[in-house]
Amino acid sequence: MKIVIVSGTTTPPLFSEHAADCITARTVEELQGHRDADLFIDLDFERHDGKAGRDARIAALSVLLPTPIMINAVIHTLADIERPFIRINGWPGFTERPIHELVAPDQDVTRQIGEWYEKLGHSCRLVPDIPGMITARILVTIINEAWYTWEAGVSTKEEIDTAMKLGTNYPYGPFEWGQRIGLARIVSLLNVLSVANARYTPANSLQQAVTELKCD
């Protein structure tokens, strides 16, 4: 099985030890040289913010169809993208987990995904086509509440991280998770979710932290 992964900044999924031919490309354009691939994976999809950049990325990937294309699209749904791609939760730290979180466009692709993952020695879970899938929605909520707690002066960031790791056995505390994933990603997903439910509104301190990062 030949897999070609676009990964400029993100650690690829742990497929290389099982795939007969697993190649990392730096750009989408490089994929054109691997038209014999069985699967393309674009882990850099979400780095292209803004409608124009996203549309250009979608157009560049679409020419590779009908070869299956998996994209790191945690925030944007297949309904938004309007292509029969496969969504994967490719945020930092999630592709290294033993179970990958995916959204498939139809039942035929769902069956194909099951066959791939069995062959590659991995596990996956298919989830609804909603912003944030399941895990990211939960995690950004926890991270946001941690920022609200810190903003209120209840405790320090370090103490909140320690309490969450000891109390829930999480590998990282909420502030550590935020740094690992990227605060801009966290706020982007919260903003999308808050359109339907105000409880996802990002904490002022979290939004300010993202603004300061952009100014640096």
The DSSP code sequence of 123-168 is EEEE--SSTTTTHHHHHHHHHHHHHHHHHTTSS-HHHHHHHHHHHH
Tell me what pLDDT residue 122 has. Answer: 85
Domain locations along the chain: 2-126, 135-215
Tell me what pLDDT residue 204 has. Answer: 97
The label of the residue with tokens 């750009």 reads 27
Please, what is the Cα angle at 90 between 60 and 143, to 5 degrees? 130
Rounded to an integer, the average pLDDT of 177-205 is 96
Instruction: Return the minimum-mean-pLDDT range out of 23-27, 139-143, 151-155.
Output: 23-27
Rounded to an integer, the average pLDDT of 20-49 is 87
Q: Give CA–CA dist 126/123, Å, rounded.
A: 10
Give the pLDDT band of residue 96 (cuts 50, 70, 90).
confident
Regarding beta strands 2-6 and 99-103, do their DSSP bridges make them parallel or antiparallel, or are they unpaired? unpaired
CATH number belonging to domain 2-126? 3.40.50.720
Q: What is 135-215's CATH number, 1.10.10.10, 2.60.40.10, 1.10.3210.10, 1.10.1040.50?
A: 1.10.1040.50
Let me know if the fold of 2-126 is the same as that of 135-215: no
CB 101 within 8 A of CB 134: yes
Q: Give CA–CA dist 100/74, Å, rounded.
A: 12
Tell me the HSE value of 126 on the side-chain side, using a 13 A CA sphere: 14
Give the pLDDT band of residue 95 (cuts 50, 70, 90).
confident
pTM value is 0.90
Query: pLDDT per residue over 156-175, tens digit each?
Result: 999 999 999 999 888 899 99
The label of the residue with tokens 């998770």 reads 177
Give the pLDDT band of residue 213 (cuts 50, 70, 90).
confident
